[in-house]
Structure 1
Amino acid sequence: MASSLPPSTSLSIPSTQPAPLQPRIHLPGQPPRLPLLPFSRALPLPLRLRITRPILPALPHALSSSSGGGDDHGHNNNNSGGGGGDGEGDAGHGDGGAPDDNRGEALFVLAQLGRKLESLPSDLAAAVEGGRVTGEIVRRFNELEASALFRWLLQFRGFRERLLADDLFLAKLAMECGVGVIAKTAAEYEKRRENFVKEIDIVIADVVMAIVADFMLVYLPAPTVSLQPPLARNAGAIANFFHNCPDNAFQIALAGRSFSLLQRLGAILRNGAKLFAVGTSASLIGTGVTNASIKARKAVDKDLEDEIEDIPVVSTSVAYGVYMAISSNLRYQILAGVIEQRMLEPLLHNHKLLLSAMCFAVRTGNTFLGSLLWVDYARWVGVQKVQEEA
């Protein structure tokens, strides 16, 4: 009977043999849930603050009563520089977010130094709020204030803008004025040689002009960190253009800032106009002093009446103004923006004494070259004549 059962029914008979283990594949559905923890999963408040803000200082100490919003319009802030500049912030030059980065960095440095924003000069504080200066500029200002002389000079915006761009600016100014008289006198002698004594009155005029002009030749083309506020909305297009030009056409722009080629050319034109006025004024003083000296000598020695001629005041002054606007302007802008800031400074940044010595040598050579060029130029345009041998 058992053999007549169909094969399928034999499976229903319980077997005493243990069934083999069969692996089961569990397809992923919902991920297994962790058991509830007996404590809150929210991190304690102090720990959360430490995680989210690991490096930021307590900004209220730096900001004090300031609005903290930063009125950064992204325009009308120049130079150098490296420099600072009026053209900072023509946003759209690929530095998006840089003003905010600069502002945060500057405020961080302020907090590190234990200073408040109100402790800075108003124009520098506004530049910090607007993100127009970096933390390095704030740190340099703090270091310069340690010196009584620098602290006094920092009260004047022109010196403040230049010292923040170049901490050796005052040394370069002293170099130029110190060697100016010696170098120019030597150059005059090199060009005139045997006629040096005969043309001594012209030499005096040149040296006096040099004394007056040397200061401005260093001051005007120097790279700056511009702290000028934005112009009024109703300012003309020309005023806005020159306001946005750097003080030095070749200076390095600060982080988050950029100057176009047209703005850098505008810096040459603007400084040329200023140096034309300076050169003309300096020449008026120099030739005036020289003519007064000639008249005094003629009053004492009547034999000099026919030997010495008065120097033409107007033509000499205009010629010297043109010379400074073109030759001096270009030479000093290249010297400060290219040779010193872009070549010597990066190479000798950590060797200030050697850097100062190199700047002294370069500026002395530039002063001597300028004197040689002036003598040739003055003779070429006819404001000075070569004295013939007797």
Structure 2
Amino acid sequence: MSSTRVVQSTSAGFAIRCRPLRRAAAARPAAWSCAGRRQLRVPTRCRGMGVPKTEEREVGTDAVGGNGSGNDDFQGNGRGDDDDAEDGDSSIDEDELLNLAEAESLAAEKGFELPQDYAAAARSGGLRASTLRGFANVQALPFAGALVWMLPWVRDRMVADPRFLYKVFVEVAIDSGCATVAEVRKRGQNFWGEFEFYLSDMAVGFVLDVALVTMLAPVAVVGAKPPSSSMSGLMRWWARLPSAVFEKSIPNVRKYTLADRVACFLVKGIEYSIVGLCCGFVGQGVANSLMLLRRRLRGGATEEDVIVPPLVRTALVWALFMGASSNVRYQTVVGLERTVDMTIAKTVPQVAYGTTVIIRFINNVIGGENFIDLARWAGVQ
């Protein structure tokens, strides 16, 4: 958590392979053809789906095809095999839309039933084949598979970014480790005697870590249009903003302008501030209550006792820290991780896992220093 807690603070698969539909193409067996659904822009013939042929629309020999990435079973990265829609890759733009019968057939082939919202999307406009492919990948995983069925917000982020839970785990592990070292150094021999304070810090820190990563994670588009298309007014504007400043666009679905990205930065600053304010109140409130209860049980305060930190001021410090420092640093983290994904990780995917650890560890250290300076400036440490 960029909100690296300092001791003083409370938490101180089916891969779709598409190619242009050519007039002279030799006919394939019906079992291998799935070109029946209307595409976002250009009709394509998809192999490896195992869906009976429905209908085909021929548009000429100059149709643009997908990038051909993937293989002929459920092996994909959960993002529709898109490298970067903003940089000219058209695979997401031409994502196949499946009707209910096609989607249910593919799901049954892989041994699971469609989630209710997936079925609803298939009935009204079509379900994205890349989203269904990504879901098939993650629901088959031992631990993540159970979470994606229970928690739709985890599912949609895992489909968009298969490393979402890994990033959450790294964030929690690094922050908890750094906070534990700081707590032990500060409390010294009193660590076990004040263990309840440590636990309250860890609990609040866990919530902050999960919130920090989740709020900037991309969300998969399930149907033909993103959810914002059914909203109006301020909610529509809010929902159409990217999850992070450097999130990739999806042509014809989610195209982010410079103004959208600037607005995203400001909105996330507000959201982070609200989260920081709430966690600051809860975390510091619990810590203060434990301190007062301990003193009451032993007959009153002593000269060695530290002053109980001011609750409101501490919460406001957390709000300022999260909205300013954490927002800037985590937006940068997301941008750096995306840069790795677009470059070296294309050739060596394992590199992305290592760089996530390095980037987030450095971010955590910087966040800890920022909080110390801010807390001292505000007089709460």
Fold similarity call, TM over 0.5: yes
Hey, what does 1:276 align to over in structure 2? 273
Q: 2: distance between equivalents of 1:349 and 1:243?
A: 30
Hey, what does 1:16 align to over in structure 2? none
The reply to whether residue 220 of structure 1 matches residue 215 of structure 2 is: yes
Contact 1:59 1:111 in 2 (8 A): no
Q: 2: distance between equivalents of 1:115 and 1:131?
A: 17
Contact 1:140 1:164 in 2 (8 A): yes
Q: 1: distance between equivalents of 2:344 and 2:239?
A: 31
Structure with the bigger percentage of helix: 1
Report the residue type matching 2:258 in the other structure: L
Distance 1:349 1:132, change over 3 A: farther
Contact 1:58 1:111 in 2 (8 A): no
Distance 1:209 1:230, change over 3 A: closer
Hey, what does 2:95 align to over in structure 1? 102
Hey, what does 1:170 align to over in structure 2? 165
Name whichever of 268-277 and 301-310 sits farther off: 301-310
Q: 1: distance between equivalents of 2:93 and 2:177?
A: 49
Which structure 2 residues correspond to residues 226-305 of structure 1 after superposition, within 5 A? 226-227=221-222, 229-232=227-230, 235-236=232-233, 238-256=234-252, 257-299=254-296, 300=298, 302=300, 304=302
Q: Percent identity?
A: 26
Contact 1:275 1:329 in 2 (8 A): yes
Structure 1 runs not aligned, ≥5 long: 1-47, 66-80, 85-92, 385-390
Distance 1:110 1:361, change over 3 A: same
Report the residue type matching 1:183 in the other structure: C
Hey, what does 1:308 align to over in structure 2? 306
Report the residue type matching 1:164 in the other structure: V
Secondary structure, aligned partner of 1:247: coil
Secondary structure, aligned partner of 2:143: helix
C-alpha displacement at 1:259, in angstroms?
A: 0.5
Q: 2: distance between equivalents of 1:63 and 1:229?
A: 30
> Residue deviations 1:172-209, cap 9 Å, x none?
1111112212223546789x899x99xx99x9576554
Secondary structure, aligned partner of 1:262: helix
Which structure 2 residues correspond to residues 1-390 of structure 1 after superposition, within 5 A? 51=26, 56-57=33-34, 59=36, 101-103=94-96, 113=106, 119-124=113-118, 130=125, 133=128, 135-155=129-149, 156-186=151-181, 209-227=204-222, 229-232=227-230, 235-236=232-233, 238-256=234-252, 257-299=254-296, 300=298, 302=300, 304=302, 307-335=305-333, 337-344=334-341, 346-349=343-346, 351-384=348-381
Q: 2: distance between equivalents of 1:343 and 1:82?
A: 17
C-alpha displacement at 1:138, in angstroms?
A: 2.9
Contact 1:277 1:321 in 2 (8 A): yes
Distance 1:370 1:326, change over 3 A: same
Distance 1:141 1:346, change over 3 A: farther
Report the residue type matching 1:154 in the other structure: V
Structure 2 runs not aligned, ≥5 long: 1-22, 38-49, 55-76, 81-85
Contact 2:118 2:127 in 1 (8 A): no
C-alpha displacement at 1:231, in angstroms?
A: 4.9
Distance 1:325 1:303, change over 3 A: closer
C-alpha displacement at 1:149, in angstroms?
A: 2.8
Q: CA RMSD in A?
A: 4.5
Distance 1:171 1:114, change over 3 A: closer
How many residues align? The count is 305
Distance 1:166 1:232, change over 3 A: closer
Q: 1: distance between equivalents of 2:118 and 2:187?
A: 52
Structure of greater Rg: 1
